[in-house]
Amino acid sequence: MTPPPFDPTTIRRDFPLLTTPFHGKPMIYLDSAVSGLVPLPVLGRMDHYQRLEHTNVHRGVSTLSQEATDRFEEAREKVRSFLNAASTKEIIWTRGTTEAINLVAQTFGRANIHAGDEILLSAMEHHANIVPWQMLAEERGAKLRVIPMSDAGELILDDLEALLTPHTKLLGVVQVSNVLGTINPVKEIIARAHAKGVPVLVDGAQAVPHLTVDVQDLDADFYVFSGHKLSGPTGIGVLYGKKALLEKMPPWHGGGSMILSVSWEKTTYIGLPGKFEAGTPAITQAIGLGAALDYLQGLGLDRIAAYEHELLHYATEKLSAIEGLCIVGNAKAKASVLSFVLEGIHPHDVGSILDHDGIVVRAGHHCAQPVMQRLGIPATTRASFAYFNTREDVNALVAGILKVQEIFK
Ligand code: C6P
């Protein structure tokens, strides 16, 4: 049976914020890269769980506790299936992308990275995939090296083999840049790193809302993302790691739920994934993330990707036609992010004036200061698109930008 056409008008009804007056107008939300809106079915699922199903998990013999544990573990299975991981043992709940990367740095990193070693990162990483490694490098006397990028915002991979030295202990790369929208060829990068025996961590925070991800096909060693960019709630994220690697890594946080036995002399730990999940987890949020995956899969991940691709193309054409506007990030492969600068106008002013018109965008360095330094700009204004945005939203953005230019004339 042919599915009905992708219809953002109907989908928009699931997002009350889009019909709530904002500065006296309906809101135009073009900031899904900072955090996605959560649709009603996901809110409903969390509300239902919290009202009628909630207690702590992995702790009790009560029916309520066993059922809460089942719901929580079903959510983990949904994530496993979403990423096509081989096992739920490879899916570790975290608070988000940032915590997942810190977990890898503090466990895999501390166990494997020593004085004189190198960590190779790309020039377009978010601070979340720089700072944890810098902290570790400082502690260990290791060194960060950087895969350069072109002015268009594409990684320059010509010298990748030379950058992968016998000292390289990990390569970290973002799949989709949060500033430039660039889709990096992570499968190729992983294959080339593996040929030199180097494991790879992929930051998928901006990729999972827009691309179909198969961690086995990518052969990623670690893959991380946040629930709140994926139509789910904040406070929940995922570390995927290959079982063989996770098993060798020491635990990170210690406490309840991650132990097999504790005495004053010694503690022993349970296996995966619990070894990395000390304390009461974000149960409602994990169930919410599972519901978000159901919701997105119900809309069709391929259909979302195709729709957003077309919308980005439309927006790129429209914004390119504005005199005095320069798009930042012109890679051939891009997803859902459109950064720009306006000649003679600071991005913060652009963002504030658009905001008064009910258009929500982000202005700043987007937690990627090295990208700004590389491009020689202090900041950009960034519009980011989701499956509920429409051509009308793009037209409103264009009108808003023209108004900003008029004010600064
Ligand atoms: N980027 C943005 O506006 P957390 O905060 O842990 O959920 O995600 C961090 C993060 C890591 N990697 C990438 C590529 C990201 O885009 C983000 C979050 C937001 O671009 C907020 S700074």
For residues 224 and 134, what is the distance between their CA atoms, to the nearest angstrom?
18
Contact 84, 216 (CB under 8 A): yes
Residue whose CA is at the smallest distance from ligand 1 atom 19: 34
pLDDT 10s digits, 191-243: 999 999 999 999 999 999 999 999 999 999 999 999 999 999 999 999 999 99
Question: What is the arithmetic mean of pLDDT over 126-144?
Answer: 98
Question: What is the arithmetic mean of pLDDT over 48-76?
Answer: 96
Q: Kindly give the distance from the C-alpha atom of residue 216 to the centroid of ligand 1, in angstroms, as a whole number.
A: 24
- Going by pLDDT thresholds of 50, 70 and 90, the confidence category of residue 59 is confident
Of the chain, the percentage scoring pLDDT greater than 90 comes to 96
Pocket lined around ligand 1, Cβ cut-off 6 Å? 33-34, 96-98, 126, 128, 174, 178, 203, 205-206, 226, 362, 366-367
Strand, helix or coil for residue 215: helix
Q: Kindly give the distance from the C-alpha atom of residue 263 to the centroid of ligand 1, in angstroms, as a whole number.
A: 40
For residues 376 and 393, what is the distance between their CA atoms, to the nearest angstrom?
30
Domain with CATH 3.90.1150.10 in the chain: 8-30+300-407
What was the pLDDT predicted at 342?
98
pLDDT 10s digits, 360-387: 999 999 999 999 999 999 999 999 999 9
End-to-end CA distance of the chain: 55
Probe target for ligand 1 pocket from 32, 206, 382, with the most ligand atoms within 8 Å of CB: 206
The β-bridge partners of 21 are: 26
pLDDT 10s digits, 75-106: 999 999 999 999 999 999 999 999 999 999 99
For residues 396 and 368, what is the distance between their CA atoms, to the nearest angstrom?
27
The one catalytic residue among 144, 146, 270, 367: 367
Give the DSSP letter of residue 106. Answer: I
Domain with CATH 3.40.640.10 in the chain: 44-297
pLDDT reading at 3 higher than 80: no
For residues 154 and 3, what is the distance between their CA atoms, to the nearest angstrom?
36
* CATH code for the domain defined by 44-297: 3.40.640.10
pLDDT reading at 2 higher than 90: no
For residues 323 and 202, what is the distance between their CA atoms, to the nearest angstrom?
37
For residues 57 and 47, what is the distance between their CA atoms, to the nearest angstrom?
17
Residue whose CA is at the smallest distance from ligand 1 atom 17: 205
What was the pLDDT predicted at 213?
98
Question: What is the arithmetic mean of pLDDT over 105-116?
Answer: 98
What was the pLDDT predicted at 200?
99
Q: Kindly give the distance from the C-alpha atom of residue 55 to the centroid of ligand 1, in angstroms, as a whole number.
A: 30
Please report the beta strands in 11-142, taking only residues with DSSP state E, as ranges in sequence order.
21-22, 25-26, 28-29, 91-94, 118-122
pLDDT reading at 60 higher than 90: no
Domain 8-30+300-407 has CATH 3.90.1150.10: yes
What was the pLDDT predicted at 345?
98
> Can 367 be counted among the known catalytic residues?
yes
The whole-chain average pLDDT of the chain stands at 97
What was the pLDDT predicted at 23?
87
- Is the CA virtual torsion 17, 337, 212, 271 positive or negative? negative
pLDDT 10s digits, 256-301: 999 999 999 999 999 999 999 999 999 999 999 999 999 999 999 9
Contact 57, 283 (CB under 8 A): yes
